[in-house]
Structures are given as C-alpha cells and as structure tokens.
C-alpha cells in the first residue's frame, strides 16, 4: 500500500492521465480479444464452407474417375487443413450435424441409400468423440500430434462401396500480440496521452496561478486580479477569488483610513487638553494629567503605525536568511549585549527583510530587557524554517502566553511609560510574521526561560 501511495501521482493532471491510460489499455485489450474471437469464428465458418466445397468436389471426382486414379486425386486434394483418405468403413461420429449433412447431400444429389455422416465440433470446447479418436489413429499419413483446431470430420459413402473419410482444421493465425499490434497500441496511447496532457495542462494552468496568487495574498504581497479563463468551474473559482481579493483590499483601506481619521481627530482635543493643563498650578495632579496625555498620544501613534502596517509596502525579495540573522545579532553584540546566534551555511529565502528584522528586534529586545541574555537559532526543515529566540528569564504564565499578543496588553502595567511602550510590539510582530505566511508563538522552556518561535513556510 505504501508503494502504491508513493507511485501514485500527486498532481491532478498526472492522476487523470494515469486513469485514462489504464482505461485506454483495458479498452485496447478487450477490443483485441473481441476482434480475435470474432475473427476466429468468422474464419472457422469460412474454412468450414470452403472445406465442404472441396470435399464435395473430391467426391464427384472420385465418383467419375477410375479406381487407379483415386490415390492421386486424394494426394492432390489434401492440404495442411484438410485430410482425406479412403476406407472400407465409416467413422461413425457421435455428434452428427444434420445441417452439413443436408448441405452435402443436396450438392451431390445423393440418393437416400448413400450415407453422409458429418460432425461439426469446436476442438477447444467439445470433447473428442470415439469416432474422432479412432480416425486419428487410423490416419497413418498424419505426422505429429493430433490436430488441435478441428472443425469438421466425418465420412461420405461412395457409389463403389468405399467411404471417404475426411477431417478439416482451422488455419493457424498469428498471435494476438504481434509487433505491429504492440506498435499500434503504443502509437494510439502516445497520441491520446499527449493530447490529454496538453488539454489538462491548459485547463489547470489557471488553477496553478490561482494557488500562486492566493499564497502571495496570504503573505501580504501586492497581487493583481487574475484573468478569468479556463473551464466554467475554474472561472467561477477565479471570480470568487477576485471578489474576495477586492473586498479584502477595500476592508484594509477602510480600516486604515478610519484609524487615521480617528487618530487625527483625537489629536485636536488632546492638544487642547495639554494647553489647558499648562494653566494648572504646579503639583502632582498637573504632572499626572500631562503623563496621561502623553501616554494617549503614544497609543494613538502606535495604533496608526499598527493599522498602516509598514511592512506591507516592502517588496519581497530573496536573501540569505543566515546572513540577515547573523548581522542583526552582531549589531547587538557590538554594543556589548549578550546575543548569540547559532546557524551554519547559507539559506536563501524570499521575504521582506525590514519587516523580519523588525520582528526579531522586538523579540530580542524583550528578551534582553527581561532575561539579560539571548540565543537565536535557525533550524531548517523540509517544509518550514524555524527561528527560535530563547532566553533564561522567568518566563510567562501559561494562561497568558496568547494574551500578550493582544493589542495594548502589558504584563508589567505598573511600570512607567518613559520607554514609550504601549503593548503593541508583539501584536505588530505577529502580524508581520502572518504576512509571510508563518506563525509566531511563545513557549516556556522546560529548563527555564521563554522561547519565541517563528515558523516560516518553505
């Protein structure tokens, strides 16, 4: 079963072509077998009629010729498929054929007193009669094994008292699988398969383009609308994809414009509040109000940056991922930060370098802030790339591993806002990873510490 699964084509074109080829070969085999069976039956009937005509002619010659010429007449009338001999007794076949007996009697104009005994048997299906086996033993001019394709045998009584014993065989045919038959089968199969491959590739080409564009859309790359072509079902799928594409773009644009408008409109009252706060007397209340206003401004700026998603404007290009990670870690190491990178060789990958660098800077920065030491590792698998950012810090409670990816969620809410952090870093990082078709997750390490895992499809 495993071998069958490995050999079975994975593509739609390969599967359909294989099924069609199997059906074509089966039809050819059945056609050849039916043709051969019908041809054998037709040839058997023709041979039997011809044999009867020759036997009737021999009987007439023997009747009209002197006995001394009988031997020569029989010798001249025999062939590879017709055996004749004179005997003093009939064969007495068990299964007689009244049809052939009446035919011979009418052609010869035989009176009822002269006997005609004929048996028509298919040697492949009918058992050998006693008379036939006796006849084979008596035919001393027959060399080799008994005939295997006998159709007719029997005896005809001559006016002189002797009996003409005869047996008729079927001409041998060439084997069903001749070189010409094989060549014709291969020629027909090649033409049909070639035509099918062309047709199916032409029909499935829009599907491949649809899959390619869907993958690009899932990575956040800019894609044009697909040309609606191909069979009806494929055209319907392309139309649905184009509609979805248009709606998604409209949704993103509307969301960005709405958030930009909200951010712009809120800046005016915030500025007014800030000006009013300047007229307040110096003290703790004034300081807290100004800090709150500053925090609101930071949240608005971060929200607008998150909505516009700067990474979507960057074009995807192929680069050496190992070099990118190594240079990023070296930048941290040059400033005295304990960041170590583990990877070897060269790995070319299509991505948006600035967006990926932004994700890693966020993860490494968080790890340095809360753990103090970071190890970055790149693992390559057959279907995915795995970038792991590991630290030895306190980790995160299991129930909050997903919560930290929500916008404006911070684990240390009591800390001040001097750093400008509003809890959008991990949300933006996950969004940028999703634009690459990947996934960003957090895991607590068994030996202690936190691991940020970026999985990217190959």
For 351, how many CA atoms within 13 A lie in the half-sphere containing its CB? 27
Query: How far is the C-alpha of 294 from the C-alpha of 422, rounded, in Å?
Result: 11
> 173: how many CB neighbours lie within 10 A of its CB?
11
Q: Three-state DSSP class for 340? A: strand
Q: CA nearest 136: which of 121, 157, 115?
A: 121
Q: For residue 186, what are the β-bridge partners?
A: none
Contact 453, 386 (CB under 8 A): yes
Mean of the pLDDT values across residues 319-326? 90
Q: What is the pLDDT of residue 378?
A: 93
Task: Name 73's Cβ contacts closer than 8 Å, sequence gap at least 6.
Answer: 58, 61, 62, 65
HEC secondary structure over 180-249: HHHHHHHHHHHHHHHHHHHHHHHHHHHHHHHHHHHHHHHCCCCCCCCCCCCCHHHHHHHHHHHHHHHHHH
Positive or negative, the Cα torsion across 109, 112, 114, 118? Answer: positive
| Tokens linked to 74 | 């029989």
Give burial (CB, 10 Å; 0-12/13-18/19+) of 418: exposed
pLDDT above 80 for 47? no
Query: How far is the C-alpha of 405 from the C-alpha of 116, rounded, in Å?
Result: 105
280 phi and psi angles, rounded to 5 deg: -75, 155
User: How does pLDDT run across 383-441, given as a tens digit for each residue?
Assistant: 889 999 999 888 888 888 888 888 777 666 544 444 555 667 888 888 888 888 889 99
pLDDT above 60 for 317? yes
Q: What is the pLDDT of residue 174?
A: 46
Mean of the pLDDT values across residues 228-256? 81
Q: What is the pLDDT of residue 186?
A: 78
Query: How far is the C-alpha of 411 from the C-alpha of 210, rounded, in Å?
Result: 42
Contacts 24+ apart (CB under 8 A), 31-34: 32/176, 32/181, 33/176
**Percent of the chain clearing pLDDT 90 (strictly above):** 8
**Percent of the chain clearing pLDDT 70 (strictly above):** 78
Mean of the per-residue pLDDT values for the chain?
Answer: 77
Q: What is the pLDDT of residue 146?
A: 44
User: How does pLDDT run across 104-124, given as a tens digit for each residue?
Assistant: 888 888 888 788 888 876 554
Going from the C-alpha of 180 to that of each of 35, 173, 266, the distances in angstroms are 15, 14, 87
Task: Name 14's Cβ contacts closer than 8 Å, sequence gap at least 6.
Answer: none
Mean of the pLDDT values across residues 122-137? 50
pLDDT above 60 for 99? yes
DSSP H/E element including 36: helix 12-64
Distance of CA 281 to the CA centre of its chain: 78
Task: Name 6's Cβ contacts closer than 8 Å, sequence gap at least 6.
Answer: none
Q: Three-state DSSP class for 306? A: helix
Q: For residue 86, what are the β-bridge partners?
A: 164
* Reported confidence tier of residue 279, pLDDT bands at 50, 70, 90: confident
Contact 384, 456 (CB under 8 A): yes
pLDDT above 90 for 453? yes
pLDDT above 90 for 102? no
pLDDT above 60 for 176? no
User: How does pLDDT run across 294-311, given as a tens digit for each residue?
Assistant: 877 777 777 666 666 544
Measure the CA angle with vertex 451, ends 448 and 452; round to 5°: 160
Q: What is the pLDDT of residue 148?
A: 47
370 phi and psi angles, rounded to 5 deg: -105, -15
* Reported confidence tier of residue 167, pLDDT bands at 50, 70, 90: confident
């Amino acid at each position: 079963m495993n071998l069958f699964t490995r050999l079975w084509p994975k593509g739609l074109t390969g599967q359909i072509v294989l099924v069609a080829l199997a059906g074509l070969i089966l039809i050819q085999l059945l056609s050849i077998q039916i043709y051969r069976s019908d041809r054998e039956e037709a040839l058997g009937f023709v041979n039997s009629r011809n044999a009867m005509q020759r036997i009737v002619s021999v009987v007439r010659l023997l009747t009209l010729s002197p006995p001394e010429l009988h031997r020569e007449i029989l010798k001249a009338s025999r062939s590879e498929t017709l055996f004749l001999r004179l005997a003093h007794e009939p064969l007495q076949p068990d299964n007689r054929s009244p049809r052939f007996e009446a035919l011979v009697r009418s052609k010869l104009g035989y009176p009822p007193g002269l006997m005609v005994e004929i048996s028509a048997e298919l040697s492949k299906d009918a058992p050998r009669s006693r008379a036939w086996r006796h006849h084979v033993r008596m035919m001393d001019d027959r060399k080799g094994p008994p005939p295997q394709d006998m159709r007719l045998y029997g005896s005809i009584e001559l006016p002189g008292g002797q009996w003409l014993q005869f047996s008729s065989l079927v001409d041998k045919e060439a084997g069903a699988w001749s070189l010409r038959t094989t060549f014709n089968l291969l020629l027909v199969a090649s033409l049909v398969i070639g035509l099918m491959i062309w047709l199916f590739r032409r029909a499935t080409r829009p599907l491949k383009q649809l899959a390619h564009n869907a993958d690009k859309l899932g990575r956040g790359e800019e894609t044009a609308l697909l040309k609606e072509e191909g069979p009806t079902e494929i055209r319907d799928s392309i139309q649905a994809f184009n509609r979805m594409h248009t709606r998604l773009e409209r949704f993103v644009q509307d969301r960005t414009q709405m958030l930009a408008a909200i951010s712009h409109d809120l800046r005016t009252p915030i500025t007014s509040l800030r000006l009013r706060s300047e007229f307040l007397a110096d003290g703790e209340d004034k300081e807290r109000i100004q800090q709150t206003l500053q925090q609101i401004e930071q949240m608005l700026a971060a929200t607008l940056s998150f909505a516009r998603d700067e990474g979507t404007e960057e074009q995807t290009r192929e680069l050496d991922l190992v070099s990118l990670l190594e240079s990023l870690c070296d930048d941290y190491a040059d400033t005295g930060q304990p960041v170590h990178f583990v990877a070897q060789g060269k790995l070319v990958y299509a991505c948006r370098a600035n967006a990926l660098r932004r994700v890693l800077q966020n993860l490494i920065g968080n790890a340095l802030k809360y753990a103090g030491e970071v190890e970055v590792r790149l693992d390559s698998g057959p279907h995915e790339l795995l970038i792991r950012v590991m630290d030895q810090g306190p980790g995160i409670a299991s129930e909050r591993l997903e919560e930290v990816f929500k916008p404006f969620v911070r684990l240390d809410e009591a800390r001040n806002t001097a750093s400008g952090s509003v809890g959008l870093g991990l949300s933006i990082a996950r969004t940028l990873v999703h634009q690459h078709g990947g996934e960003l997750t957090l895991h607590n390490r068994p030996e202690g510490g936190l691991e940020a895992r970026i999985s990217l499809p190959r």
